[in-house]
Chain A
């Protein structure tokens, strides 16, 4: 199949970017990233600079890919990362627009690569349980109801790719932050610190310059791991509780 690609090219963070158009010949068995590999090999053979796009595991779990394909983070298929998107979902002659994730908190480094270190800092603000190595009690000493463990897993399945921010018209990081808050708050081990955790994480999220949630739910719709906005409601609940009914303050 012959495709026309409109790809965002930007030399570095300081420079201004623009769309460039490329022709590429692909086949339907390729993944989207393999199609980009073909384009890059072609560019290199012409001694031109290849398109920089971030990727690593190519099986939908590392969360490294960060591109918006025809307006959808990770492409139009639900529950799929860009690396799992296959070309059989496109037709011969299609024009495909590829852009980086856009948000003030995710500045573009080069072409399709963006800086998502804000997510690390949100986790560093409290997305953990304070337990030193060797302090743990026997794993089976605290039973956890099966469906609660499953719900915690559903939230913990977040791959930290940032598609939620990219999809949100407000560039809010609520789905990401709430998934971690929910994961840890659902488990008995995580409940001890939940007041401090939610205050600190929300505070850090705001400090990073993410927008406010207005429940558009585009985050859930585009999340490759289909993480639910129910987590956002849970974060709101925990936040009210921590700020109104506990003595804790942001640290």
Chain B
């Protein structure tokens, strides 16, 4: 590997502390003269921009939304992990680190994950100080709940809207810096390309989305916090505008894309209801604390369900297959996401799916109603309540815990989950892959950093629940403010970067040409229709399970789709106005290229690990078969020009000095 991970030496628990104590700093008077561009205002971007502003750097921050507060971090529901051990249940920094490494199926960098676990506790302190209204116990102290794949309660939450509250905290900090003048905010500006001057990232070309004008913005370094690429599948739990373009443009300028095939399919989403569907809605993982997942044992029950002759509640207890509890007795319904999703797919592949399309399983709360109802009745001194009374009391308890989720389910499906089991199915939710970064979160392009979901660094092949918020904020608040100094301390003699330099002009011209090319096609098919077709290819062949045969076929299909796109896409309107169709066209064009790279990566990885399941590599009972001897590496792909041949693979070997690689078992 020609690219160095730059992991500091020393014992795991001392690395970050020692590194922080010895890394080069930038003096306050020099910070004032250094400019930083931050693209994206989600948890990672907003926290980075505000913290860098506080430190005294000149920050220019960009979002394509109308306000920084709209970033998709806002939609995260369940919670944020931190090794506070407030519950006294044996949690520690090491345990959070270990759970995350194991949950990620041993495909992430030890040192990065340990640092994440280490700073997790400061995030909670910071959020509380900003006024984030986390859930609290009666005594006024912070409450916790449990998430999949762990055996402690370390998840802090604000009802089912933790992401919203954390983002509003970061947005508030960012707003304060905007008022103080240290951050210059550019709303409704989309990064169209990265400008590289003398081998260093020195700026971006942004498009003012209202006027269509291209703008050149220069800085001493560029930070991308632009989120994940789940929308490559068209249908996902991501927001409609979430996209890969900023990251992909960096790849086109020489950055490496790491582990692109590692995508997380979340097991509890509302099933697809028709062809017109534009996105999928997540039902928080926390529901699996109390819900039981099942499908009917008998095919005649399945057929009656689909014909609408019976309902889930009509099927007798002994005719139900609680397949997660059956297969994984130790973790039951709380197995990690990849395991739960795959199991749902398997029962549906057997033909036992419970909706008309055969692509749904039940998530049933009847047991929870009964359990909570009984204890509630007991608490009220009623030791012999009727079943009806028990269920009624139990529903109230469940409403307190998950009221907003139940309401959301009813709004979307028109069915009342208090009286009929929910129907759920896995959906694309998160992408563990992303821009390759070293320990400093710097990509292989000097001066280009990547934070949050847009980098690959911490989650390996599968992310545990409530860890995305943790990583975004860790990167933004507590890592980049230090590590950016390793680059900027060498730039203190560099004068202000001139946005009228040759590199800027050339890059701007390239962007204008690309816009002209897209508008010039003037074909017949809508951007949306291409996106849908790409999504279907990716879901069918590079989704929950993959095979070499399918992947090879899919690669050809994506290549053909790309050719067709540039021949027949139709974009209404012009380039010099507010034109959402043009914005979408850029994003879909980049998704098509990324889609091909994901397929190439999935083909290269001849093993099953985490969210990546290759049908050829499974154990006799259908579990993932990891191949540590050959695949304990990060795949970092170089592909600056998809028209000039195949991508080049760089391998970063993963070294595990502190944990032993084991078969991940939740049985």
Contact = CB atoms under 8 A, between A and B. Distances in A.
Interface residues of B, number: 79
Contacts of B130: 128-129, 131, 189
A137 interface: yes
Contact of A127 (B175, B187, B529): B175
B69 A113 contact: no
A230 interface: no
A61 B129 contact: no
A88 B175 contact: no
Contact of B74 (A57, A86, A130): A57
A207 interface: no
Contacts of A247: none
Contact of A44 (B273, B477, B570): B570
B664 interface: no
Contacts of B51: 132-133
Contact of B278 (A33, A64, A184, A189): A33
Given A120-B68, A139-B142, A128 B125 contact: no
Interface in A134-160: 134-140, 142-146, 149-150, 152-153, 156-157, 159-160
A124 B179 CA distance: 6
Contact of A56 (B127, B133, B140, B241): B241
Contacts of A159: 74, 164
A57 B239 contact: yes
A156 B70 contact: no
Interface string A49-86: 11010111111111110000000000000011000101
B328 to A, nearest CB: 29
B172 A127 contact: yes
Contacts of A218: none
Contact of A149 (B84, B134, B173, B278): B134
Interface in A17-57: 27, 29-31, 33-34, 37-38, 41, 43-45, 47-50, 52, 54-57
Contacts of B135: 149
B276 A30 contact: yes
B84 A143 contact: no
Contact of A64 (B66, B128, B161, B274): B66
A131 B129 CA distance: 7
Contacts of A119: 67
A37 B133 contact: no
A219 interface: no
A183 interface: yes
A27 B274 contact: yes
A110 interface: yes
Contact of A84 (B411, B478, B581): B411
B54 A133 contact: yes
Interface in B513-531: 526, 528-529
Contact of A143 (B66, B141, B573): B141
B650 to A, nearest CB: 34
Contact of B140 (A30, A34, A143): A143
A60 B185 CA distance: 25
Nearest to A77: B411
B129 A189 contact: yes
Given A62-B75, A123-B172, A160 B67 contact: yes
A215 interface: no
B505 to A, nearest CB: 29
B524 to A, nearest CB: 8
A125 interface: yes
Contact of A29 (B171, B175, B273, B529): B273
Contacts of A146: 136-138, 140
Nearest to B171: A123
B187 A117 contact: yes
Contacts of B411: 60, 80, 84, 86
B225 to A, nearest CB: 15
A56 B239 contact: yes
A74 to B, nearest CB: 12
A41 B584 CA distance: 13
Nearest to A59: B281
A115 to B, nearest CB: 7
A190 interface: yes
Given A52-B580, A156-B165, 4 more contacts: A33-B278, A139-B84, A145-B140, A149-B134
